[in-house]
Structures are given as structure tokens and as C-alpha cells.
Amino acid sequence: MAPIKLEHVSKSFGNVNVINDISLAVESGELMVFLGPSGSGKSTLLRMIAGLETIDDGALMIDGVRSENLAPGQRNVAMVFQNYALYPHMTVRDNMAFGLRNIGMSAEAAEEKVQEAARMLEMVQLLDRRPAQLSGGQRQRVAIGRAIVKEPKAFLFDEPLSNLDAALRVRTRVELAQLHNRMKATMIYVTHDQTEAMTLADRIVVLNNCQIEQIGTPMEVYLRPASRFVAGFVGSPGMNFLKADITGSERLEARLSDGATIDVAIENVAPGAYELGIRPESVAVATEGQQATTTATVSVVERLGERTLLYCALEDGSELIATDSGRSDIRPGDKVGLVFDTTALHLFDEAGRAYHAH
């Protein structure tokens, strides 16, 4: 499978800049996920790779070949769209073989490729059905199978699961991960769903305002976000942010707006005003005899089975989410002591730059 490289790529629609000087490299056999909110440019970037949108500036290399001026059919990539785009009057077999027959492949050779893809996707028994006889997940598998039979250099997925219900999305997401493990194909996957990104990706590209905020493995992005935007966008529930004044030199101390103080083991931080970030799983309810970092009043209790989320308010009104055990007996209105894991602290300056605990 082929590596893909973008070098200083930009794109505008009239006076609106939608991709701003982006460079990145997708390694051969890698599954890279473009993650970002609506309007961040992720689908436009994917369409530029596919040839469905022009590249105004910069270079695109697919398997070492300069490709930004090639027609979509010459790039040898296959795109799977959010809508399945299946021919309703054709069987699954004919939908998958249609593109092969258009390029003059014999019926026997096309059938062999269709059968191979159908076995890979566990849908041999569906080959004689028409799209109307299939579930949403099955239709999406047909669309993926239609891409597989082309044996492209890379697969491009544009939010392929967004039309499925929650349970089916989970199942199909697992199937996609298994498919990538079997094929070892180069894949680029666009989504605004962070769970899909964390589950599927070898590496995640977090996009915001038409630019790259961070590129990293799922856990790099989660544990060491490069900016406040990444810290707030990745994670469910999101990271807690609290105003904090940092004082000291060799030994830093953060004073929260409610007066609580926390030792901060973070390098290259000058004293001043910051936002302190900490994920809910790093804020626990103090046990008996344990020194609490601060106290808070619980407003909402969300029971998730294996854990309980506590939506709390500090004495000054600042809000944060803490985590307790699944068997927690805490109720709304309770006042609790909270303990912060100081090894999991992050600081963000006015520009949104991130600083992390050791």
C-alpha cells in the first residue's frame, strides 16, 4: 500500500480560506484519522486527496507520484462516502463489480474479486440481495466492498458511520478495525466522533479552523494535548478547566479561584495567570482521612455502571466533573472533598499553548 504526503497544501473558496498551509505524511499501511468539529476542513482535505476538490497551492504525493493535477481516476484511491451511493436496481454483486466491468475486466475476473471481498467482509450470503433488502450496516459494507475490489493504493473514508444508529456504529467500527488489521492498507478516515478516532487510528490529525492542531497517536493526543482546543475536544466527558494563578520559581504552586492550592510539577512555566486542566478521571472523591485538594457541592450524579460521574461546583461557582466508583452512594446536594492527581495536571496560557506535568 502507498504512502501519502501533503506539502504546504492550501485551498480557498472565493475569499474564504478552508485549508491553510497544511503538511502531513501518511505512512504506508497506516490508518490515519482526521478529527475535528464541523467546518474544520477535514472533509475538504480528504476530497483534495481524492481529486474531488482542487488544490490551490502545495503538492500531493501518492506512492511517490506527484498527484495534485491528476484526475481522480488516475490517483488509484477509493473513497467511501457518508451516503452509500448504491445502485438500487442492482444486486450487491453487481454493485461491487460495476466499476470493474467499466474498465473492461472480464466477468470471471470481476466475480473472483467480488467473492474475495465478500468473504473478507463476511457478506457472501448477501451477494444476490438488492440494497433495499439490506440494513444500514450491510449497505455500508457493500460500499466498502466496492472500494476493496478496485485494489486501490489507499482507502479514503468520509464519515462512513454517521448514518448508522449507535449500536450499529459500534459494531461496524469494530469491523473496520478488523478489516484494516487484515488488509494492512493505507487508510484515511474522517470523523467528528472522537470515540471512532481513538478506536481506529494509528495516528490522529486534530484539525481546527482549517489548520492542524496536533498529530499523534490516540494516547499522545489524549494524555499530552498540544493546545487547549485539543484538550477540550478530545475526551468524553471533556477536560476540566479552572482559572489558576501560578506562583513560585523552583517549586510552583497553583492557586485556584476558590483559594485552594496545588503543587505543580511542570517545567518551563513562568508565574502568571493560566487555566489549569485536569481530566475527570484524575479528580476523585477523598476517602476518610485523605487530605482533599478542594471541596465542592455535587449538582448532578451520572451513573454509568462501571463508574459514576459527579458534576460539581466549587465554593466560588467554578464547575468541574469528578469520578467515583460505580457503586457510589453520593447524591445531588452532597458536599464532597476532591483529590486532584497532580501527575495529570496541564496548564494552558493565554495563547492556548499547553504545558504538562512530568
Out of 177, 202, 227, a domain closes at 227
pLDDT at 135: 86
CATH number assigned to the domain comprising residue 334: 2.40.50.140
One domain, residues 71 and 196? yes
One domain, residues 122 and 253? no
One domain, residues 217 and 246? no
pLDDT at 181: 87
One domain, residues 188 and 294? no
Residue 101 is assigned to a structural domain of this protein: yes
State pLDDT tens for residues 127-176: 999 999 998 888 888 988 888 888 889 999 998 888 777 887 888 888 88
One domain, residues 256 and 170? no
pLDDT at 82: 79
State pLDDT tens for residues 246-303: 998 778 889 998 888 999 888 888 899 999 999 999 999 998 888 999 999 999 999 9
State pLDDT tens for residues 218-229: 999 999 999 999
Out of 227, 258, 281, a domain closes at 227
pLDDT at 99: 85
Residue 140 is assigned to a structural domain of this protein: yes
pLDDT at 121: 84
| 3-state per-residue secondary structure call for the chain | CCCEEEEEEEEEECCEEEEEEEEEEECCCCEEEEECCCCCCHHHHHHHHHCCCCCCEEEEEECCEECCCCCHHHCCEEEECCCCCCCCCCCHHHHHHHHHHHCCCCHHHHHHHHHHHHHHCCCHHHCCCCHHHCCHHHHHHHHHHHHHCCCCCEEEEECCCCCCCHHHHHHHHHHHHHHHHHHCCCEEEEECCHHHHHHHCCEEEEEECCEEEEEECHHHHHHCCCEHHHHHHCCCCCCEEEEEEEECCCCEEEEECCCCEEEECCCCCCCEEEEEEECHHHEEECCCCCCCCEEEEEEEEEECCCEEEEEEEECCCCEEEEEEECCCCCCCCCEEEEEECHHHCEEECCCCEEEECC
Residue 341 is assigned to a structural domain of this protein: yes
Residue 234 is assigned to a structural domain of this protein: no
One domain, residues 212 and 265? no
Of 43-47, 70-74, 178-182, minimum mean pLDDT range: 178-182
One domain, residues 185 and 79? yes
Residue 29 is assigned to a structural domain of this protein: yes
pLDDT over 90 at 182, yes or no: no
pLDDT at 325: 94
One domain, residues 199 and 331? no
pLDDT at 179: 84
pLDDT at 69: 94
pLDDT at 73: 86
pLDDT at 281: 96
State the chain's mean pLDDT as an integer.
92
| Tally of domains within the chain | 2
Residue 235 is assigned to a structural domain of this protein: no
pLDDT at 9: 96
One domain, residues 245 and 216? no
Assign 183 a pLDDT band (cuts: 50, 70, 90): confident
Residue 233 is assigned to a structural domain of this protein: no
One domain, residues 316 and 344? yes
pLDDT at 274: 95
Out of 177, 203, 227, a domain closes at 227
Domain of residue 31, residue span: 4-227
CATH number assigned to the domain comprising residue 200: 3.40.50.300
pLDDT at 125: 93
Average pLDDT on 76-93 reads: 89
Residue 317 is assigned to a structural domain of this protein: yes
Average pLDDT on 81-110 reads: 88
The pTM of the full predicted model, rounded to 2 decimals, is: 0.90
One domain, residues 343 and 282? yes
pLDDT at 163: 77
One domain, residues 39 and 108? yes
